[in-house]
Amino acid sequence: MKDTATTDALPITVRNVTKTYGAVHALDNVSIDVRSGEFLTLLGPSGSGKTTLLMVMAGFTRPDAGSLKFGETEMIRTPPHLRDVGMVFQNYALFPHMTVAGNVGYPLKLRKVAKAEIAERVEQALEKVQLGGYGERRINQLSGGQRQRVALARSIVFEPRILLMDEPLSALDKKLRDRMQIELRHLHEELGMTTVYVTHDQREALTMSDRIAVVNHGRIMQLATPQDLYDAPANTFVADFIGESTFLDVTRQGDELIAAGTRLITDRPAPDGSALNLMMRPERVALVEGEAAPSVTTFRATVSDLVYQGESFLLYARLEDGTEVAVRGAIRAGTFATLAKPGEAVTLGLAASDMVILADGGH
């Protein structure tokens, strides 16, 4: 029995892939490098082209043009059954006329593996997804979470070097989803295969991925680690899609940048272009008491709403130009009662290190 952890992963190289449906560009000259062994997530709203890109990798969608390489091998014209990649479908696509073992053993049977070895490897794969001993069950006797695990076992049992997943957790309830995210992450660490994961859930993407490619209108908006994506989004679309944020229009006055009537204190140069936005993450905006530090830009505002959310509060404050800014902060015993009430004046502070100014791209 070969140890699956030693399986060589393969890098995926996508070059200039284009796919149009009528006048719609599902994929617009997409190029992306998936590194060997990494967990890369394609994240985007529905209709962004993320699933189309995954289907091109799996071979179910034939692009108009472009190149797709697994390692050094050109795959773009290879039919799906010869690509040797594992795939987990959104609805699992488990064969209802076969048992759990029949499903998981199916790819091995096609590869003419001996019967005894099939049984052994099926059981090992099921144990990896914590379903040891479930082989004889029928698919319709399984819960959603169990089906998900069987689909996963089936896609890894033949030790593919690339694993593709199309929103595999979207049908599960939130608690199970959270647990499966961690389990998938562990399984990936254990097996080490190059994994491409599609989701529209930004929290899921942040939790699981080595890197995230944000997709919109058939283009890659940004490819970065979860932290870079959150702290330094490339444009307003990415900033808006990942996490919550309020945007303020920024105008140039000579060398100075002005937003909501306030001069901004920054520690890095603003991007070129005339349409600039200041990104304010709710948890990075502070309520300033007394004198602010010199590196902190302050805005005067009036509280319009204060919401209690258990571990944190969410405060909405209206700036002098009318923009509403959200502020989130931790609550400790007794601190909620001391917060400013609606109608009261507050000073909002944004540190220079949290000052992210974006060009209005990506729309």
117 binds other proteins (CB under 8 A): no
CA–CA gap between residue 247 and residue 339 (Å, rounded): 24
Task: Determine the interface stretch with other proteins among 63-71, 103-111, 272-280, 302-310 (rule: CB under 8 A).
Answer: 103-111
Q: Phi and psi at residue 265, in whole multiples of 5°?
A: -100, 110
Return the number of the residue (78 or 295) whose C-beta is nearest other proteins: 78
Going from the C-alpha of 226 to that of each of 16, 196, 237, 318, the distances in angstroms are: 25, 15, 15, 30
What 3-state class would DSSP assign to 143? coil
Going from the C-alpha of 89 to that of each of 82, 147, 164, 341, the distances in angstroms are: 18, 11, 9, 49
CA–CA gap between residue 239 and residue 198 (Å, rounded): 19
Among 46, 140, 253, 338, binds other proteins (CB under 8 A): 140
- Minimum gap (Å) between residue 157 Cβ and other proteins: 9
158 binds other proteins (CB under 8 A): yes
Residue 189, C-beta contacts closer than 8 angstroms, at least 6 positions apart? none
Nearest CA to 280 among 349, 361, 215? 349
Among 37, 44, 70, 106, binds other proteins (CB under 8 A): 106
Site string for other proteins, 60-99 (x = CB under 8 A): x------------------xxxxxxxxx-x-x-xxxxxx-
The two tokens of residue 66 are 């472009």
Return the number of the residue (47 or 89) whose C-beta is nearest other proteins: 89
- Minimum gap (Å) between residue 355 Cβ and other proteins: 47
- Minimum gap (Å) between residue 249 Cβ and other proteins: 46
- Minimum gap (Å) between residue 7 Cβ and other proteins: 16
Contact positions vs other proteins (CB under 8 A): 58-60, 79-87, 89, 91, 93-98, 106-107, 110-111, 138-140, 154-155, 158
